[in-house]
A and B are shown apart, each in its own frame.
Chain A
Amino acid sequence: QVQLLQSGGGVVQPGRSLRLSCAASGFAFGSNGMHWVRQAPGKGLEWVAVIWYDGSEKYYADSVKGRFTISRDNSKSTMDLQMNSLRVEDTAVYYCARWGNDKVLDYWGQGALVTVSS
């Protein structure tokens, strides 16, 4: 079965960096694009970034553009989100999600809490 296992997360000071990872199993990872979506405490869902199945294209939300970098290693079935220059408003649970057929987010990781605080 499809599984997305996330790691990383934690407490970090404003201006510092953090890296999240998402390890996939149960499907041909190199055949699917992947997304990051975040959810601030008590708030709704916000799309963060996407990477094409082969890494050829990447798009970011304006709120993270220039600070966050999405990447993937198809040989290891992993995807990462490098977060630099973190701000208090980046505090959220970050989810990785698979880009399924028909432009859906069909499987989600368990989430990783990132807290940006001094």
Chain B
Amino acid sequence: DIVMTQTPLSSPVTLGQPASISCRSSQSLVHSDGNTYLSWLQQRPGQPPRLLIYKISNRFSGVPDRFSGSGAGTDFTLKISRVEAEDVGLYYCVQAAQFPWTFGQGTKVEIK
């Protein structure tokens, strides 16, 4: 199974300041079709997860442009350019390159 490792596990951020989360996979997420199936999910407290980013850097419908994704191969990053109060919650990377799909441990974004 592909192991997904996120850092940091906790990220206290000042409102209006940027935040960055790293995700590393134990093997390349490049699929045989040439695409890299790495997504990011947000889970606000008490809510189901919500898709933010897919295929490394594509924002899902309705996601604010302060969220961006980057990376390649085995190293990926989610950035929030200016954290807002509604961004508090857990963030997960997830790989869909092969079954079983696997998630990172989650990174908690909180306001300082």
Enumerate chain A interface residues (CB-CB to B < 8 A): 35, 37, 44-47, 50, 59, 61-62, 95, 97, 100, 102-111
Contact = CB atoms under 8 A, between A and B. Distances in A.
A106 B39 CA distance: 10
Interface string B81-109: 00000000010101010011111111000
B99 A45 contact: no
A26 to B, nearest CB: 13
B50 to A, nearest CB: 7
B45 interface: no
Contacts of A95: 48-49
B72 interface: no
Interface size class of B (residues with CB under 8 A): 20 to 34
Contacts of A104: 39, 51, 54, 60, 96
A47 B101 contact: yes
A57 to B, nearest CB: 10
Given A95-B49, A109-B48, A110-B48, A102 B55 contact: yes
Contacts of B96: 103-104
Contacts of B48: 95, 108-111
Interface of B: 31, 35, 37, 39, 41, 43, 48-51, 54-55, 58, 60, 90, 92, 94, 96, 99-106
Contacts of B43: 45
**Closest 5 A/B residue pairs (Cβ):** A103-B96, A108-B48, A45-B103, A103-B37, A47-B101
Contacts of A62: 100
Contacts of A97: 49
B92 to A, nearest CB: 6
Contacts of B51: 100, 104-107
A100 B103 CA distance: 17
A52 to B, nearest CB: 12
A111 B43 CA distance: 12
A47 B49 contact: no
Contacts of A46: 103
A61 B37 contact: no
Contacts of B99: 50, 59
